[in-house]
């Protein structure tokens, strides 16, 4: 059974870079059938797509975050990662990773999420 | 950007009764070349990640009970829970994937 697990620091200082990793187990990140995405949810608020990556390395970013976001994939470790630079308190959120089918690109499998707080 | 709106913000329905959630997109999410609506619905229970319920506006994800159904086309969509169960208490989000991805603000469903 496919599982996704987010990991990374729970506290990041303002102006620094948020770095998270999603480890995929029970399946290969190199499958041509899937994209891999990051979505976040500020406390008590709705969902915001951050960006997605294909195993080949092709990336797609939310235009509102594009200047600060980098998503990469490490097929040898079956992981993909998120970097968000110049963070502010507005970036405080639960960050989810998810698998997206390449046929319909919806988020069919989600990780449990990890809470990141931006504070000094 | 395609902006998604939902109504109502919240609703309370008696067990066994019907719950209806509406979703509207700021522009059509119907792709004419394949006649598919790029619209999905997710369910999120407290402390849990969202769960995919429906995609292509009306296709149920595997394992989703058939009391959940989606309908609509173009810019107006509906999620219907035909007979509300206690385990359906959650926030429901619509999402368009016609042009990148944007979610609606969510509709909270409770038991009356």
Q: Which residues contact B89 (CB under 8 A, 6 or more apart)?
A: B45, B109, B110, B111
Q: Which residue has the tokens 């007979």?
A: B83
Neighbours of B47 (CB within 10 A): 8
Interface contact flag, A105 B97, Cβ < 8 Å: yes
For position A10, what pLDDT does the model report?
96
Q: Which residues contact B84 (CB under 8 A, 6 or more apart)?
A: B13, B14, B15, B16, B17, B18, B19, B109, B111
C-alpha dihedral, A63 to A66 to A68 to A72, nearest 10°: 140
For position A24, what pLDDT does the model report?
97
Asked if A18 contacts A82 with a C-beta cutoff of 8 angstroms, the reply is yes
Q: For A13-37, how does the pLDDT look when each residue is reduced to its tens digit (9 = 90+)?
A: 999 999 999 999 999 999 889 999 9
Q: Does A111 touch chain B (CB under 8 A)?
A: yes
Nearest to B103 among A46, A60, A111 (CB): A46
Phi, then psi, of A91 in degrees rounded to 5: -90, 0
Q: What is the three-class DSSP state of B10?
A: strand
Mutation target among A47, A66, A98, A112 for the B interface, most CBs of B within 10 A: A47
**Can you tell me the mean pLDDT for B87-107?**
97
Asked if A29 contacts A79 with a C-beta cutoff of 8 angstroms, the reply is yes
Q: Does A95 touch chain B (CB under 8 A)?
A: no
Residue of A nearest to B92 (CA): A46
Task: List CB contacts (< 8 A) between B52 and chain A.
Answer: 106-108
- pLDDT of B76 over the 90 cut: yes
Q: Average pLDDT, whole number, for chain A?
A: 96
Question: With bands split at pLDDT 50, 70 and 90, how would you rate the model's confidence at B60?
Answer: very high
Asked whether the CA dihedral B15, B17, B23, B28 is positive or negative, the reply is: positive
- Which among B61, B71, B69 has a CA at the least distance from the CA of B23? B71
Question: With bands split at pLDDT 50, 70 and 90, how would you rate the model's confidence at A103?
Answer: confident
Q: For B12-59, how does the pLDDT look when each residue is reduced to its tens digit (9 = 90+)?
A: 999 999 999 999 999 999 999 999 999 999 999 999 999 999 999 999
Report residue A38 as tokens: 């990051």
Within its chain, how far is the Cα of A50 from the centroid? 7
For position A116, what pLDDT does the model report?
98
Task: List CB contacts (< 8 A) between A46 and chain B.
Answer: 93, 103-106
Question: With bands split at pLDDT 50, 70 and 90, how would you rate the model's confidence at A102?
Answer: confident
Task: List CB contacts (< 8 A) between A106 and chain B.
Answer: 40, 52, 55, 95, 97
Q: Which residues contact A72 (CB under 8 A, 6 or more apart)?
A: A53, A57, A80, A81, A83
Q: Strands A11-12, A114-118: parallel, antiparallel or unpaired by DSSP? A: parallel
- Which among A109, A77, A97, A74 has a CA at the least distance from the CA of A20? A97
- Which among A21, A5, A36, A8 has a CA at the least distance from the CA of A117? A8
Question: With bands split at pLDDT 50, 70 and 90, how would you rate the model's confidence at A55?
Answer: confident
Residue of B nearest to A101 (CA): B55
Residue % of chain A over a pLDDT of 70: 100
Residue % of chain B over a pLDDT of 70: 100
């Amino acid at each position: 059974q496919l599982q996704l697990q987010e990991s990374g620091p729970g506290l990041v200082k303002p102006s620094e870079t948020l770095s998270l990793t999603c480890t995929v187990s029970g399946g290969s990140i190199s499958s041509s059938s899937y994209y891999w995405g990051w979505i976040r949810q500020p406390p008590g608020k709705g969902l915001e797509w951050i960006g997605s990556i294909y195993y080949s390395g092709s990336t797609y970013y939310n235009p509102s975050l594009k200047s600060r976001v980098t998503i990469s994939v490490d097929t040898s470790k079956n992981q993909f990662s998120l970097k968000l630079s110049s963070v502010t308190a507005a970036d405080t959120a639960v960050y989810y990773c998810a698998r997206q089918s390449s046929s319909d690109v919806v988020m069919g499998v989600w990780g449990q999420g990890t809470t990141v707080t931006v504070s000094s | 950007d395609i902006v998604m709106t939902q109504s109502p913000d919240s609703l309370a329905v008696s067990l066994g009764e019907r719950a209806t959630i509406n979703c509207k997109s700021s522009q059509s999410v119907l792709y004419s070349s394949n006649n598919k609506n790029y619209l999905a619905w997710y369910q999120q229970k407290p402390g849990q990640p969202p769960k995919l319920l429906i995609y292509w506006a009306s296709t149920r994800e595997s394992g989703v009970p058939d009391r959940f159904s989606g309908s609509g086309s173009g810019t107006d969509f509906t999620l219907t829970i035909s007979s509300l169960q206690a385990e359906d208490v959650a926030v429901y989000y619509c999402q368009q994937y016609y042009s990148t991805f944007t979610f609606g603000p969510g509709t909270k469903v409770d038991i009356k």
